[in-house]
Amino acid sequence: MTDLQSEPTSRAPTAPWSEERPTAVLVLADGTVIEGKGIGATGSVQAEVVFNTALTGYQEILTDPSYLGQIVTFTFPHIGNVGANDEDIEDLTPAARHGAVGVIFKADMTDPSNYRAARHLDAWLKARGMIGLCGIDTRALTSWIRENGAPNAVIAHEPSGAFDLEALKAEARAWSGLEGLDLAKVASSGQTSHWTETPWIWNEGSAELAADKARYHVVCVDYGVKRNILRLFTGLDCKVTVVPATSSAEDVLALKPDGVFLSNGPGDPAATGAYAVPMVQALMRTDLPVFGICLGHQILGLALGATTAKMHQGHHGANHPVKDHTTGKVEIVSMNHGFAVDSGSLPEGVEETHVSLFDGTNCGLRVTGKPVFSVQHHPEASPGPQDSHYLFRRFVNLLREKKGEAALPERA
């Protein structure tokens, strides 16, 4: 077992060989103290610590609402060279700062060296109120999480280096964690809105979906939706109406959609049961196509009678192999989830469509005889490979079928 206490990253503040006083600490619930250099905002926050193995796209990762309540440790050592900009943001309401609450890097942040950079990453972290720590052995922390599971912790940044470690340890122990925590209502935009921005194209940016191009109406139930999901819908000529997480089936149906999308989001899926599960069950009593991603996949599973469970360390990265049983193909996908649908609990009439080749956990389902399906991974990528973009065409083909139109090729 990896012992973080034996690593230089967890040295005591008074260690005689310490060249400078640490200005940030990560305090785990078991009492482990990991010291480093503070970056971003000052203060402290309780959260769960996870690691992400993606090599690119740190800004999209940190603004993914599914990370709300979590501190992201990047296994890639050098972060910051792309800087930050206003286009690579994934949360729908950035003013509310939905996304990761803390971040951990191995090396000091590098200065931006990219033509798209609008500001230094450190300034961007400060503006979002995100607390960071760098200069630690992220390999040791990642190994510890792999063996012991994602820990509850407190991350704190104080430029003076004055920390009440006993108080921080008590805070870390006292935090209840993500199990039983409903964060979907927090991450939701909370109001009905319309999305018209099309997919981003290199050197051109995004455009607006022309009114005469909007052939299908998709209602997105927002549990913490990512922007690129909505962009991919508009790229397939879908007008998108975004509604709050707590919307009822009557609210959704009143908008007369051609199909309904259940978005990604943070927290424990079982905690959304009082409002999300009855809504989805009511939708499935209609003949509307339904498509879910991540938390939306888990909520759909619960609505069908399956169960969900907290994972040991979760799946967070852009290099996860998943097999699509419907095609027999293996895809490399982007993932970000700490809960999973128990495949053994899927009831009769519900088929497992995708499975993780890392650990065999469920990554997709569909309902026999109904236009209803979902996946656990993130087919929109941002960041990550685009192997699973076809799932959006699969959903739109269900909309086209309802209108008597010929199906699009799943892979463009």
pLDDT the model gives residue 190: 86
Picking from 146, 174, 202, the residue at the C-terminal end of a domain is 174
Answer yes or no: do 215 and 295 share one domain.
Answer: yes
Total of domains in the chain? 2
Residue 9: predicted pLDDT = 41
Is the pLDDT reported for residue 216 higher than 50?
A: yes
Radius of gyration of the chain (CA): 21
The residue type of 266 is P
- Reduced to 3 states, what is the DSSP secondary structure of residue 231? helix
Beta-strand pair 290-293/372-375:
parallel
Please indicate, yes or no, whether residues 229 and 308 belong to a single structural domain of this protein.
yes
pLDDT in tens, 149-175: 999 999 999 999 999 999 999 999 999
CA proximity to 331, closest of 318, 341, 349, 342: 318
Select from 237, 167, 150, 230 the least CA-distant residue to 194: 230
- Tell me whether residue 216 is in a domain: yes
Confidence of residue 130 (pLDDT cuts 50, 70, 90): very high
Q: Are residues 149 and 224 in the same domain?
A: no
The Cα 352–Cα 21 span in angstroms is 52
Q: Is the pLDDT of residue 14 over 80?
A: no
Instruction: From 174, 208, 232, give the residue that closes a domain.
Output: 174
Is 302 strand, coil or helix? helix
What would the mean pLDDT of 259-278 be, rounded to a whole number? 97
* pLDDT > 90 fraction of the chain, expressed in percent and rounded: 90
Q: Which residue has the higher pLDDT, 411 or 14?
A: 411
pLDDT band at 7 (very low <50, low <70, confident <90, very high): very low
The CATH number of whichever domain residue 12 belongs to comes to 3.50.30.20
d(CA 346, CA 311): 17
Same domain, 169 and 188: no
* 189: nearest Cα among 225, 161, 164, 215: 225
In a domain, 407, yes or no: no
Q: Is residue 409 part of a domain?
A: no
pLDDT value, residue 12: 33
What's the rounded mean pLDDT across residues 181-185?
Answer: 97
Burial track 45-71 (b if 16+ CB lie within 10 A, e otherwise): bbbbbbbbbbeebbbbbbbbbbbbbbb
Q: What distances in angstroms separate CA 120 from CA 59, 125, 155, one per listed residue? A: 12, 9, 22
Q: Report the distance separating Cα 75 and Cα 79, nearest Å.
A: 10
Of 227, 194, 182, 188, the closest CA to residue 63 belongs to 227
Instruction: State the catalytic residues.
Output: 294, 378, 380
What is residue 86's three-state secondary structure? coil
Domain that holds residue 67: 4-174
**Distance from chain centroid for Cα 255:** 27
Percentage above 70 pLDDT, the chain? 95
Residue 153 CA: distances (Å) to CA of 75, 176, 379, 409? 18, 10, 30, 47
In tens, the pLDDT along 232-261 reads 999 999 999 999 999 999 999 999 999 999
Q: Which amino acid, one-letter code, is at 408?
A: L
| Residues 299 and 271 sit within 8 Å (Cβ to Cβ) | no
Say whether pLDDT at 8 is over 60.
no
